[in-house]
Structures are given as structure tokens and as C-alpha cells.
Chains A and B, each alone.
Chain A
Amino acid sequence: MAATKISDISWHHDFPPFFTLQPNLDTRRKQLDAWCSLVLDYCRLKKVCTFDVNDASKFPPFFNAKINRQLDNNFIQVLLEELRSRGNIEWEDKHKRRCLVLWKSPEEWAKTIYQWITAHGMNGTVCTFYELLHGDDTRSAEFHNIDPHLFRRVLMELEKRGQATVFSDNGADGVKFS
């Protein structure tokens, strides 16, 4: 993967005031919009699916050594809450330590996976989790190597639509597509 600089994703990242929560509400709204896009674009690019609050300070978009700026915890909390309210983040636990990053909504993911399965004629077949996430056949697929929690979440979505059934047998995790 070629090293894409974060400033290529968003020019705001090299702009010092970007890292300070703006008091003016209009500006703040624009600022949060830009931050949300930046975070989601970065995660989509690097296929980052989970985020741990403890590692927040090491998350590349949240600091810029070049201009010596870093997001403080308050801003991070505000940003995470904003992302959650937009449906781009789902907390895994009540204490808000880890969350799933949904740069693609579960419904979109479900559609992507089901389309891939149909395109490869795998309707009505049984697949193991391993072969879908790490198999050679899925190397070109968007969902190759995504986080297992995210994968389960998306499969739940497919189950709701009646397009898949998740089951396991003797320790093997599998899913059957309709």
C-alpha cells in the first residue's frame, strides 16, 4: 500500500486551528463534518474496523507532528459521540472502550457481501468464516480481512433479511447463504 499522507485525504489536517474545538457553532459544525469525513476516509483506506479509546492518542489522524498539534481527550469524546450519532460507530461495550468503525453501514456491508456471493455463484452453499475472511478466493473482495466482530455484525444483518444463517458445528463457524 503506497503511503498516503493524511494531508492528501484532507487539507485541514495541516491547519492548526483544526485541532482546537471551535467555540462558534457554525464553525464547529463544519469542523466536525470535516473531522468525521477524515476519520472515515482514513479507516476506509487502511481498513481499520475497530477503535480502542485507550489507543486514541496513537491514532494517526488525531495528531500531526509536523505542526505539533494533537487532539485533546475532550475533543476526541465529542468527535466519537458525533460519529456515533451519525451511525458510523457502534460501541461494543457499555463503558465505551472499544467500538466498531462503520465507514460502511451494516446494510451496505450486507449488500456488498451478498452481491459478491451471488456473483460467484455461492448461493445456497455453506462457507466457513475463515475462507470468507482469509481465504485466497476472497482476496479481491472488499470484506477480505475485516475485523471478525464487524463480520459477525454484518452477518446478523443478513440473517435479519433472511439471506443467511449463521451456525457452528464442533467449533467450526459457518454461514449458509440463501
Chain B
Amino acid sequence: MGNVFGKKSSKPSKQPAITEQDRAILQLKQQRDRLNQNRRRVESQLDREREVAKQLLKNGQKDRALLLLRKKKMLETQLTKSENILENVERMTHDLEFAQVQVDVVNSLRQGTDALKKMNDILKLEDIEQLMEDSREAIEYQNEVSNLLSGGLSRADEQDVEAELDELIRADEANQLGQLPDVPHHRQGERTRVSPTKSKQRVLAEAD
């Protein structure tokens, strides 16, 4: 992508840059990872202790089982606490990442607005009005020129010619009307040409 603008930078610095916020996010994520590791460790420890407690009960060593269960309870509360902390860290991480997104959005909006303002400066309303006026005058002038050049039928002549054309068209239509075929009076006569059997069928059909 860097090549589009030519020899802007020959060193491989098209890598994403690392900002202060990135470092902060990395720290937070590392905390999150550590808490996750801790939680996994405690969970597997709890599972093992549960198994041992069951075993102790089987062997009838109730007090030892009780001690073990107490220890397990302590681990469980610790687990809950660390899960709460984990939730806080994750929320902070998400907020920080989202804040970056918001900053990007505001910057883009600002850029867009500036570009739009520049465009509007080019299009001053008075200039546009003048432009349209000039354009209309030029077109009118051009029409005059072409009228003159094409030999000069005046306005009145044009109307006469158009009236004559209309007359011709009407006359032609009237002619065509006269040549339309008449409504046939000889329906009976037509039938005599058809074969007898077919005429019977036709009679039947007509009767319906």
C-alpha cells in the first residue's frame, strides 16, 4: 500500500506504531492472563482436593476429610475474589480499547468536516448564479445565430407550415377511414360455403 505514493519511505516502517495506550493495554492484558492462569490452577487444585476428600471418607477418616474441606472452602473464596478482580481488569481493558475507537471516530469526523468546508468554499452561491446567467445568454445567442444561418423562415412562416402539416395528416386519416371494410351483411351467404356436417355443428354451437 505504501508504494502507491511512490518513494515516501523505503524503510519497512509500515508496521503499526505502538502508542502509550497500547502499552497500557498490554499491561492490563498481562494481568488478565495471570489471573486466568491462577484461576485454572486453583480450579484444578479444587478438583483434586475433592477427589482426595472422597477417598478419605471412604477410608473412614472423617476429621481429615473435614480439614480438607475447610481448606477447599478457603480456596473457593479466594477463587471468587480473583474472579471479581479479573472482571474489573477486563472491563478496564474493554473501556480503554473502546475509547481508542471513539477517538478514531472523532478524528475521522473532523477530517470529513474540514474537507466538506473546503469544498463549500469553492462553490460560492453568487458565483453560481452568475455562471447560470452567462450560460443561458450564451445558449440564446447560439440559437439566434443558427436561425440566421439556416436561411430565415420567420415565426409566422413557421406557423403556416405547421398548420399545413396538420391539414395533411387529417386528410390522410379521413381517407383511411373511408377505406375500412363494411360490416358484413352476408353472414348467411358465408355459411353456404361450409360443408353440411360442419354447418350442423355450427348451428349447434350457435344455439348455445
Contact = CB atoms under 8 A, between A and B. Distances in A.
A169 B26 contact: yes
Interface stretch (B8-16, B50-58, B141-149): B8-16
Given A128-B33, A130-B33, A131-B33, A159 B15 contact: yes
A131 B16 contact: no
Given A125-B97, A128-B33, A130-B33, A165 B27 contact: no
B25 interface: yes
Interface string A114-128: 000000000011111
Q: Taking each of B12, B14, B16, which has the highest tally of chain A beta carbons within 10 Å of its own beta carbon?
A: B16
A142 B12 CA distance: 28
B18 interface: yes
Interface residues of B, number: 19
B22 A176 contact: yes
A82 to B, nearest CB: 33
B18 A167 contact: yes
A165 B16 contact: yes
B29 A131 contact: yes
A169 B25 CA distance: 10
A121 to B, nearest CB: 11
Interface in B1-48: 2, 12, 14-18, 22-23, 25-27, 29-30, 32-33, 36-37
Interface residues of A, number: 25
B16 A177 contact: yes
Contacts of A131: 29, 32-33
Contacts of A178: 15-16
Contact of B25 (A126, A136, A168, A177): A126
Nearest to B16: A178
Contacts of A124: 16
A169 B27 contact: yes
B153 to A, nearest CB: 72
B16 A128 contact: no
B26 A126 contact: yes
A165 B22 CA distance: 11
Contacts of B26: 126, 128, 167-169, 172, 174
Interface of B: 2, 12, 14-18, 22-23, 25-27, 29-30, 32-33, 36-37, 97
Given A171-B30, A174-B29, A176-B16, 10 more contacts: A124-B16, A125-B25, A135-B33, A136-B36, A164-B15, A164-B16, A165-B17, A169-B26, A172-B26, A172-B29
23 contacts: A126-B26, A126-B29, A128-B26, A128-B29, A159-B12, A162-B2, A162-B15, A163-B15, A164-B15, A164-B16, A165-B15, A165-B17, A165-B18, A167-B18, A169-B23, A170-B27, A172-B27, A172-B29, A174-B22, A174-B29, A176-B18, A177-B16, A178-B16
